Structure 1
Amino acid sequence: MSVTPAFMLDWCQKLLDVDGKRPQHTLSEYLEAIPKLDSLSDVASGTPVLVRGDVDAKPGAKIGEGDIRLRSMTETLSYGRERGWKQVIFGHRGRKPEETLAKVAARLGELMECDVPLLSDWLDESTLTVSDKTAEAIASSPPGSILALENTRRYDIERVLWKATGDDLPKLSEPLAKFAGEVAAKIATTYVNEALSAGSLDTSSTVVPAAMQRVALGAYVAKEFTGPMLRCLDTELVIFSGLKADKLDDLEAMIARGKVKMVFTAGSLAMALKKAAALLDGQPFSLGVAEDPGHSDKPYFIPEKRIEQAKRMVAEGREKGIEFVLPVDFILQDGSASETIGPGQQQLDIGPKTSELFEKKVGEFIASHQGQRAAAFHNGVFGKFEEEAFAGGTKRFVGQLKRLKEAGIEVFVGGGEGGAALEKYGQPDDVTHVFTAGGTVLNALGGEPVPYLVALSMAAANEKGG
């Protein structure tokens, strides 16, 4: 499908919601608009199918180690193999352009019990053309084969929308149109997204669908969104943490849905709310280095605008009856527990009194929901848990997730560090469900739609002539 720069400009303006051009849909409406994998059942054997894969993984020595995202792709890949599709997997590995998908391709081969060749240098970035060698490799592969393209983030075109504004789009529309058209002309015109975690504005996820004749959500992604993700929209208890205070945006959007009744916080997120609550109550509270301008270039620094945002959230939350359960003590950088954070000090975990408070409040939540259907969402870890000295709060709270589930509360974990902590200190069946993509879950539960759902819905509308 040929894509003109004018078409691509309009596409990207909708994608970035420039001047309110993007249609406003709920998560359910996006999911209803996007075809599922079974809609491609009539795609003929031998047809190339582009699969945006969840390939940002670090496979370990054997199957089951570091490959959960790759294993999430197998149902879709098996579906395609059974129908004789030539599936071309593409996606990114990390943020560094030099990262390679060599181990990912090898592990996918083990999982699918077939050879998965890795096609390197598949794009000439100076001309934005797909190499003839790549096109020939796809054309000559037999029906049912699986191939992989090398890390998409090796090419600048994959990342041009990350920080783009509406003013940037006119100059980007031509190269983006050229790239998308090349992919359609030389690789495939049928596209499946089976990359739950690919929530960034990557060109492979959000622009390439513009040139596709047919698109669909992969089996795993569709199940995650239509099942546990939609259920999380009704969560009443949120356990939220993060090193960066910008997680306040996600929490604020979740609270705005009107279902959240209780919020546990830790990390920089909690520091912003703790400071805000103290100011609202006319009390002093020092954040230590987190509010020191000399540390403004550090990820844990909390700017004044975030404190103001937190004040608004706490004030509005109190009016709505939302209870913010905030830390009452902290583990400082020297390993000591303290109820205060002095100048030059940094909190790196919640303290033992906070753990006791969290456990008490978990009990209160359970007691108030006996015999009722309720859900809890847990995201992040409470401290610098990769260091044993600051892992105590996270380790202790994992047992509370099991306690919630055993009391009949549905417990969802947002993946990423939270999932890693559960794997380290608990068992998968201690909770109801663990997502493989923390960022995408936060997008879906927050105020902004997941970019690739926007793109797929627009592509599906084009497919229908809409």
Structure 2
Amino acid sequence: MTDFKKLEDFDFNGKNVLVRVDLNVPVANGMVTDSTRIERLAPTMSYIIEHGGKPILLSHFGRPKGQVNKDMSLAVVVSGIKQAFGQPVEFVDTDWTDVSAAKDQIAKGAAGTIFVMENTRFHPGEEANDLALAKRMASLGDIYLNDAFSSAHRAHASTEALARELPSGAGRAMEAELSALQAGLGNPKTPVVAIVGGAKVSTKLDLLENLLKKVEGLVIGGGMANTFLHAEGVDVGKSLCEKDLAETARRIYDKSADENCAIILPVDGVVAWHFEANAPHRTYGLEAMDKEGMILDAGEKSIERIKGAIDEAKTVIWNGPLGAFELDPFGHATIEVARYVAERTKQGKLVSVAGGGDTVAALAKAGVVNDFTYVSTAGGAFLEWMEGKPLPGVEALKA
């Protein structure tokens, strides 16, 4: 996946460099509470500044719906950026209808300064992918870099149209993400095992259909697994189950055989009678599920079965927890399998790529975020990539 320009392909000296980033970070009491997304921009910022360029950051923040809303101003992240990079930072206030004042401010700025533009979504043209707005944005810079994979699935003015107005390329974070994803599904070491969890099959149909064609093993967990078990004739009691999708589940199962993809379902389940933390629970085999209970996690036999599939794999990609991980102790299967994948990765036996909000939270709970080959913080973009869909923000960078 090298059909886009990288930092080394540009001469930044004396240039204004527009960088699409993701500063949509959590904030409380006027302070950034999690600076992970900011810190991931450091390699790109350092490279531009060291090579004589002025970084000008473009980002959305919240959902102001095309109107100026000072509660969603990016001014709030300036102190967090200063802290992360140790560089002077200037906030550039604009409603994006006229950028002449912004141009003047940037022109007067000292070398080494990072400029943070106001929320791109304060103008309705951003989400409409408006060419006129993209041209106004382009007038501020000489080069465009996209370093926000998490926004690459949206065809917005600052992610798609703008990339076509200037010489464009990928920042370091974008480059790292695309390289990791290429190792996960584009050109992976085989066999590949995908772990797909979460509550509902209906939200991941495209994902399952795409994976059948690309992986040798497909582990299905979480509430999704109940729908497949129901389709196989298992009585899942009061478990979350989309019974109307039983036929769809059977079709996916049949297609998996045609694609030589082994679907791996739970063989036992941890059952509780109340959906709450520390609810009384016990493990049942599939043939003896309690009709009054609900399956909230995979059982020990299922965990061992999943570990067996991982032992055979050279690559694991993961999206979605294997149970109600947010409720103790029903995150046990997710944590056990996450730690096993991490251990195999550290031993050099596995390439492991994971992504999605719940998945990252689950890996954090297991204490293994840094032990996977790559963990994507991009939610929607990661899922659409796993579904095999082209991402507008990436397509626009292709030379």
Q: Shorter-chain TM-score category?
A: 0.7 to 0.9
Stretch moving more, 230-239 or 383-392 = 383-392
Q: Which residue is 1:215 aligned to?
A: 168
- 1:177 paired residue among 118, 131, 151: 131
Does the residue aligned with 1:204 lie in a helix, a strand or coil?
helix
Q: Which residue is 2:263 aligned to?
A: 324
- 2:86 paired residue among 76, 89, 113: 113
- 2:60 paired residue among 82, 92, 108: 92
- 1:391 paired residue among 307, 331, 344: 331
Q: Which residue is 2:114 aligned to?
A: 146
Q: Distance in 1 between matches of 2:294 and 2:77?
A: 38
Q: Distance in 1 between matches of 2:379 and 2:290?
A: 29
Q: Is 2:297 aligned against 1:362?
A: no
Change (3 A) 1:243 1:135: farther
AA in 1 matched with 2:181: M
Q: Which aligned pairs between 1:160-309 and structure 2 lie closer than 5 A? A: 160=128, 176-185=130-139, 187-201=140-154, 202-212=156-166, 214-226=167-179, 228-233=180-185, 234=188, 236-244=192-200, 245-257=202-214, 260-276=215-231, 278=232, 283=233, 285=235, 288=238, 290=240, 302=242, 304=244, 306-309=245-248
Q: Distance in 2 between matches of 1:132 and 1:303?
A: 58
AA in 2 matched with 1:208: L
| 1:111 to partner: Cα distance | 1.9
Contact 2:88/2:114 (8 A) holds in 1:
yes
Q: Distance in 1 between matches of 2:98 and 2:237?
A: 52
Q: Which residue is 1:3 aligned to?
A: none
Task: State the Cα RMSD in Å.
Answer: 3.1
Q: Distance in 1 between matches of 2:37 and 2:329?
A: 30
TM-score using structure 1 length: 0.71
Q: Distance in 2 between matches of 1:446 and 1:66?
A: 28
AA in 2 matched with 1:182: R
Change (3 A) 1:55 1:289: same
Question: Could you list the per-position Cα deviations for residues 192-213 of structure 1 after superposition, in whole angstroms to 9, with x for gaps in the alignment?
Answer: 011121133133212222322x
Would you say how many aligned residue pairs link Structure 1 and Structure 2?
376
AA in 1 matched with 2:390: P
| 1:405 to partner: Cα distance | 2.7
Contact 1:209/1:215 (8 A) holds in 2:
yes
Q: Distance in 2 between matches of 1:287 and 1:52?
A: 48
Change (3 A) 1:152 1:389: farther
Q: Which residue is 1:442 aligned to?
A: 383
Identity of aligned pairs, percent?
A: 24
Q: Distance in 1 between matches of 2:8 and 2:359?
A: 33
Stretch moving more, 85-94 or 265-274 = 265-274
Q: Distance in 2 between matches of 1:140 and 1:261?
A: 57
Q: Distance in 2 between matches of 1:309 and 1:106?
A: 50
Does the residue aligned with 2:116 lie in a helix, a strand or coil?
strand
Change (3 A) 1:135 1:383: farther
Q: More helix per residue: 1 or 2?
A: 1
Change (3 A) 1:331 1:55: farther
Contact 1:122/1:133 (8 A) holds in 2:
no
Q: Distance in 2 between matches of 1:51 and 1:93?
A: 15
Does the residue aligned with 1:382 lie in a helix, a strand or coil?
coil
Gaps of 5+ in 2: 66-70
| 1:36 to partner: Cα distance | 1.3
AA in 2 matched with 1:405: T
